[in-house]
Amino acid sequence: MVSIVEAAGWPIWPLIFCSILALALIGERFYMLQADKVAPRDLLEDVMDAVVDRIPSSASIDELASGSALGELLAQVLRLYQANPQQDAATLRSSLESHGREVAHRLERYLPSIGTIASASPLLGLLGTVIGMIEIFGSQSPGNANPAELAHGISVALYNTAFGLIVAIPTLAFWRHFRHTVDEYVVQLESQSDALIKHLCQKQPKV
C-alpha cells in the first residue's frame, strides 16, 4: 500500500482523506439509522394503548421523545393534543409539520457530504491523471526520452484514476442506500404520526 501511495504521488492524498471521511460518515449513518433508533417496532401500538383513557404525564411524554425519532414525533402529537384537546385532526397535522421537517432533516444528516465525496472523488482522480500527464510531457524533451520519468508519470495518472473510482463507486452506492432508507423512514413516520392523530381525535382521551 505504501508503495502504491508513493507511486501515485501527492495527488492521491486528497483521495485518501476523502476515503477516510467517507468511511467515518457511512459508519455513523449505519449506526444512527438503525430501526430501533428511528422507528422501533410496536411503539405506535404501545402509545395508543397508553392513551386509551388519559394522556400520559409530561415526564412520560419526555421519556417517549428521547427514545427515537418516531417517539419524538408521537410525543409532539401528545403535547399538541394536551395543549388543546378540542382541535381537529387537520389542525394537529398542520401543527406537527414543522417538527416533522426537523426530524426528517436530522435523518438526512451527512447525506449531502457523502454524496459530495461520491461526486468529487472521480474528479480528484482525474486531477491526478492530468498532473501525471503533465509530468510525463514536462519531463520529456525531443531526442532525450527518460523511461524512468515516463513510467512515474504514467503511474501517477493511472493510480489516481483507479483510486478515485475505488472511492467513488462504493460511496455512491452507500449514498443511494441511505437516501432510500431515509425516504422509507419519513413515509413511515408520517403514517404512524397520522395514525396517532386519528386515534386521539376519535377516542378523545382525558388530559
Distance CA 131, CA 20 (A): 23
Residue 1 has pLDDT above 70, yes or no: no
pTM reported for the whole predicted model: 0.85
Task: Say what percent of the chain tops pLDDT 90.
Answer: 60
Q: Give the pLDDT confidence score for residue 128 in this predicted structure.
A: 84
3-state helix, strand, coil in the chain (%, to 5): 80, 0, 15
Average pLDDT, the chain: 88
Instruction: Output the pLDDT for position 136.
Output: 72
Instruction: Tell me the per-residue pLDDT of 33-48, one tens digit each, with 9 for 90 and over.
Output: 999 999 999 999 999 9
What's the confidence (pLDDT) of residue 52? 84
The pLDDT value recorded for residue 176 is 97
Q: Return the pLDDT at 144.
A: 62
Of 153, 162, 115, nearest to 132 (Cα)? 153
Identify the band that residue 149 occupies on the pLDDT scale cut at 50, 70 and 90.
Answer: low
Residue 189 banded pLDDT, cuts 50, 70, 90: very high
Strand partners, 181: none
Q: Which of 159 and 192 is assigned the larger pLDDT?
A: 192
